[in-house]
A and B are shown apart, each in its own frame.
Chain A
Amino acid sequence: MTTGILLQIAQTLLAILLAPLLMGWVNQCRAWLQGRSAPPITQPYRTLRKLFHKDAVIAHDASPLFRFAPYMIFACMALAAGIVPTIANDLPFSPAADVIALVGIFALARVFLALAAMDTGTSFGSLGARREMLVSFLAEPALLMVFFTASLISQSTELPIIVETLAHREFVIYPSMAFAAVAFWMISVAENARIPVDNPTTHLELTMIHEAMILEYSARHLALIEWAVALKLFTYSALGIALFLPWGIAAQGDFNALPLAILALVAKMALGGAVLSFMEAISAKVRLFRAPEFLGTAFLLGVLGMLIHFLLEV
């Protein structure tokens, strides 16, 4: 149990510390694909350090919720990162929440972010919050469909059992998971505010979704939110890896497999980040009202995955 707790702490810390590195890698790949010379991979850490050293500017009519929200959002993302098996399976936190609760944790963070955005009463904040809700109310059910497909295969909504079934039993090809994987990719793009749904690098307030919500934040609050954004991307990547490329995650109590697990994680994340930035480089952002179509397609693919499971795999 003690080793389990130590491993849990190690995994959560690893996620928190590595998340900005993944962001830096994605930014680097993007710069290369655009033919620019790239910022160093450690740039997100420097940005965080800079932000933590600044004095926060807070609107006069901001309520305590505005100050509290960044901590809440960061905590939610750190908790989510602890639940998803990144290097080792079946850690003490894992039974605390199954995939449905995980969706709930993401939703909780989002509720706080949207409330904080509306708190200061600026037009951009509520604009962003409204759009975020439009995107997320479509993304959440689609994400659940993906999880259900995986759950049907492993007969459980617990992530460790799903990973155990997919990674450490006899190798089987599940056609349903192919559909679920595409759906998951689309949802991740939308949920992490990436192109083609949102543009994380834009300066045009009127086109923003996620960025519009955090326009009023500065200094440590902004740093926490930026860090949480990086953690979210990391967690989604880990989730994608756990569901669709779980090979390499150490089985319960298998400490010898840990170094290999860490190596596998880094390699898979690097590949995922490169693919993400490539997809971003070749896409234009869709018109905002096309985002529901985009997520509707993801939902449809999720449902198809489930149907195919019943047709072919039962």
Chain B
Amino acid sequence: MEAHLGDIELTLTPQEGGGAIWRFALEAQRLPSFARAIREEGGQLLALWGSDDRHLERGFAVHVAFLSSVGLIWTTSDLDPERPAYPDLACIFPQADRMQRATFDLLGIRADGAVDERKWLRHGAWPADAFPLRKDFDASRPASHDTDAYPFIRVEGDGVHEIPVGPIHAGTIEPGHFRFSIIGDRILKLEERLGYTHKGTEKRFEGLDLDTGARLAGRVSGDSHSAYAWAYCLAVETATASAVPARAVWLRALFLEMERVANHLGDLGYLGNDVALAFGFMQFWRLKEDWLRLTARLFGHRYLFDRIVPGGVALDLADAGKAELAALADRIETEVGELKAVYDEHAGLQDRFANTGIVKPDLAARMGLTGLAGRASAQAWDARAQFPQAPYDELDVNMATARKGDVLARAEVRFAEVKESLRLIREILRRLPAGDIRAPLAPVSRVCEGLGWVEGWRGDILVAVRIGADGRLDRVHAHDPSWQNWPLVELGVLGNIVPDFPLINKSFNLSYSGQDL
């Protein structure tokens, strides 16, 4: 099939049965010019990862997922087995910087000409010359005991202070280190150091059977369980060319929207809590708790863990449950409307939210801000609305956007998305087709690959899967939108005051686990 991408004409092969995903092989040397064409066309780089293909009688490979007007373009570039390298893409898409550094830490694939070559995921847990994702990695080698000497960028000048915060925080939140350079309480620079929750998730996938892989994929970042599990299953089903029953597809969308509602309710409460309006916190969390309890009663798990499985879903919804869920959706919509009125009219809260942590649309576009935070900065991308795969192609999703890019805009997008998700849930419940909920996967006889793409509550979630000829997982890469959004937290806080950082950070609410892997 032919596709036009600005001035370039491309022959793209659509991934069979995999939505608006196009795949082609690209020589590494042509990557920058292709990336530039995507950039000029208004597209973005979503993910960059590597793979060790030497056991398949190739070298290494670097994979890039671009978002463009035709959908998602997945390029694969084969690299030299002895000295794997590809041209730097961070000069075109700054969001590639950390992904490139992580790819080097894990696989030893170098981005030639990259400005920033500091380590990213490696905290001294393994030696600098060992690359854990290579197939010949020797895990029995003793762990490195190097101190983690990470060169932070220093800000010099009269009265400039540095405050190191974390990785251990006072609340029950994930670990991350934040290095503030401040004058008084004003932030001159913030630098993040993440990777503290690196668990070797991608290595763990290797050799797992396909069902166990779904369990692990869902646990990449627990708050986006359904999104990850669905993306993984899409990838596996595409790779094996398996069909999924219609009822299962609709139930998956139901789970994803339920997850979105639960997370948005929690975040709206936390945003109130961070400006000391505990009333809002308690009210939103009461609603979230009602939601989770009903979820647990209907589907056996508060966060719907392991309900999406390769080939379908694990649990059906009875008609009685449908009515109950629809009734709760109605009640939550009414109550959220009342609470929105409280937030909208609370002068103190509006004063804290408005003009705090602004990410302007042009900065968001330059840095590739994605998902919910992107939509609050006028980056109108929502895979459910623009590249809908079943069942969203029949649901006509309304995308919520805002222009200001401050904490208030991110709260407003959440309010709008809760409303839209509740509408979708009612719509799904009304139109849920009858039939089976799970079909067996087609048998695997050769090496096959697939990519799943799902709009999680935080943004685009991608899972790329390669299944070996033995039917077990060979390489899995899970991409979280936090990769491209974390750098925008660094930039969004500039010029704000230190006590506003927790609020700004919470308004993005990014995942540590999802990007540390």
Task: Please report A residues at the B interface, Cβ cutoff 8 Å.
Answer: 30, 33-36, 123-124, 127, 131, 195-196, 199, 201-207, 281-290
Nearest-Cβ distance from residue B496 to partner chain A, whole angstroms: 9
Residues of B within 8 A of A201 (CB): 278
A139 to B276, CA, bound (A): 21
B286 touches A207 (CB 8 A): no
A123 touches B164 (CB 8 A): yes
Q: How far is the CA of A191 from the CA of B165 in the complex (A)?
A: 26
* Chain B residues, Cβ within 8 Å of A285: 275-276, 348, 352
Q: When A204-B171, A205-B170, A206-B502 are in contact, do A283 and B497 touch as well, CB less than 8 Å?
A: no
Whether the Cβ atoms of A284 and B502 lie closer than 8 Å is no
Complex formed: what's the CA distance from A195 to B352 in Å? 14
Cβ of A309 to closest chain B Cβ, rounded Å: 32
Asked whether B380 is an interface residue with its Cβ less than 8 Å from the other chain, the reply is: no
Say whether B279 faces chain A, with CB atoms less than 8 Å apart. Answer: yes
22 A–B contacts from the bound complex (CB under 8 Å): A30-B278, A34-B278, A34-B281, A35-B282, A35-B283, A36-B282, A123-B162, A123-B165, A195-B276, A196-B276, A202-B276, A204-B170, A204-B502, A206-B163, A206-B165, A284-B276, A284-B346, A284-B351, A284-B352, A286-B352, A287-B497, A287-B499
Q: Does B250 contact A (CB under 8 A)?
A: no
Q: Roughly how many angstroms separate A199 CA and B278 CA in the complex, as a whole number?
A: 10
Residues on the B chain within 8 Å of A131, using CB: 185
Distance of A289 Cα from B279 Cα, bound (Å): 24
Complex Cα distance, B104 from A308, in Å, reads: 73
Taking CB atoms and an 8 Å cut-off, the chain B residues in 271-306 that contact chain A are 272, 274-279, 281-283, 286
Contact among A30, A123, A206, A284 with B499 in the assembled complex (CB-CB below 8 Å): A206
Q: Report yes or no: B276 in contact with A281, Cβ–Cβ below 8 A.
A: no
User: With A and B bound together, what is the CA distance between A288 and B184 in angstroms?
Assistant: 12
Residue in contact with A284 in the complex, picked from B162, B164, B348, B501, CB distance below 8 Å:
B348
A123 to B169, CA, bound (A): 14
**Cβ–Cβ contact A286 & B278, under 8 A:** no
Instruction: List the B side residues contacting A195 at CB < 8 Å.
Output: 276
B349 within 8 A of A: yes
**Which A residues are CB-close (under 8 A) to B286?**
35
Residues of A within 8 A of B500 (CB): 287
In the complex, what residues of A have CB within 8 A of residue B281's CB? Answer: 34
Q: A123-B161, A202-B276 are in contact. List 11 more A-B contacts (CB 8 A).
A: A36-B282, A196-B276, A204-B171, A281-B278, A284-B272, A284-B277, A284-B346, A285-B276, A285-B352, A286-B352, A287-B352
Quick one: closest B residue to A30, CB to CB?
B278
A33 to B348, CA, bound (A): 18
Which of B163, B276, B278, B502 meets A123, CB within 8 Å?
B163
The distance in angstroms between the C-alpha atoms of A227 and B149, with both chains bound, is 42
Point out which of B279, B282, B349, B351 has the most chain A C-beta atoms below 10 A from its C-beta. B279
B502 adjacent to A207 (CB under 8 Å): yes
A39 to B275 CA separation, bound complex (whole angstroms) = 23
Does B498 count as interface, using CB distance less than 8 angstroms? yes
Q: How many whole Å from A195's CB to the nearest CB in chain B?
A: 5
Minimum Cβ distance to chain A for residue B176 (Å):
13
B210 CB to nearest chain A CB (Å): 41
**Residue on A with the closest CB to B343?**
A284
Chain A residues with Cβ below 8 Å from B272 are 284
Complex-state Cα separation, A289 to B161, whole angstroms: 18
A127 touches B170 (CB 8 A): no
How far in angstroms is the closest Cβ of chain B from A294?
11
Contact B352 A203 (CB under 8 A): no
Q: Is the CB of A287 within 8 A of B279?
A: no
Asked whether A127 lies within 8 Å of B279 as measured between CB atoms, the reply is no
A35-B286, A36-B282, A285-B275 known; A207 vs B348 contact (CB < 8 Å) = no
A206-B501, A287-B497, A288-B499 given; A127·B348 CB < 8 A: no
A292 to chain B, nearest CB (A): 12
CA distance A207 to B273 in the complex (A): 12
Q: Which residues of A contact B171 (CB under 8 A)?
A: 203-204
Contact B163 A34 (CB under 8 A): no
A residues within 8 A CB of B279? 33-35, 281-282
| Closest chain B residue, CB of each to CB of A131 | B185
B80 to chain A, nearest CB (A): 46
CA A33 to CA B277, docked complex, whole Å: 12
A35, A127, A283, A288: which contacts B163 (Cβ < 8 A)?
Answer: A127
Residues of B near A283 (CB, < 8 A) are: 276-277, 348
Report B-chain residues with C-beta under 8 Å of the C-beta of A199.
276
Asked if B275 contacts A284 (CB within 8 A), the reply is yes
CB distance from B313 to the nearest CB of A (A): 36
Q: Which of A36, A201, A202 has the most CB of B within 10 A?
A: A202
Residues of B with C-beta under 8 A to A282: 279
Smallest CB gap from B496: residue in A: A287
The closest CB in chain B to the CB of A34 belongs to B282
Q: Which of A127, A196, A202 contacts B498 (CB 8 A)?
A: A127
Residues of B close to A34: CB separation below 8 A? 278-279, 281-282
Give A196 to B281 CA distance when docked, in angstroms. Answer: 16
Residues on A with C-beta less than 8 A from B346 are: 284
A-contact bits for B425-466, CB 8 A (1 contact / 0 none): 000000000000000000000000000000000000000000
Given contact pairs A196-B276, A202-B276, A204-B170, A284 touches B349 in the complex (Cβ within 8 A): yes
Q: How far is the CB of A5 from chain B (nearest CB, A)?
A: 44
In the assembly, what is the distance between CA of A201 and CA of B165, in Å? 19
Contacts of A206 in B (CB 8 A): 163, 165, 498-499, 501-502
* Cα–Cα, bound, A195→B477 (Å): 46
Interface centre among B164, B274, B286 (most CB of A within 10 A): B274
Given A203-B171, A284-B275, A289-B497, does the pair A196, B283 have CB atoms closer than 8 Å? no
CB distance from A28 to the nearest CB of B (A): 14
Nearest B residue to A211 by beta-carbon distance? B170
List the A side residues contacting B163 at CB < 8 Å.
123-124, 127, 206
Q: Contacts of A290 on B, CB cut-off 8 Å?
A: 351
Interface code B221-245, partner A: CB below 8 Å = 1, 0 otherwise? 0000000000000000000000000
Cα distance, A284 to B275, chains bound together (Å): 5
Q: How far is the CA of A282 from the CA of B501 in the complex (A)?
A: 23
Tell me the complex Cα distance, A58–B281, Å: 35
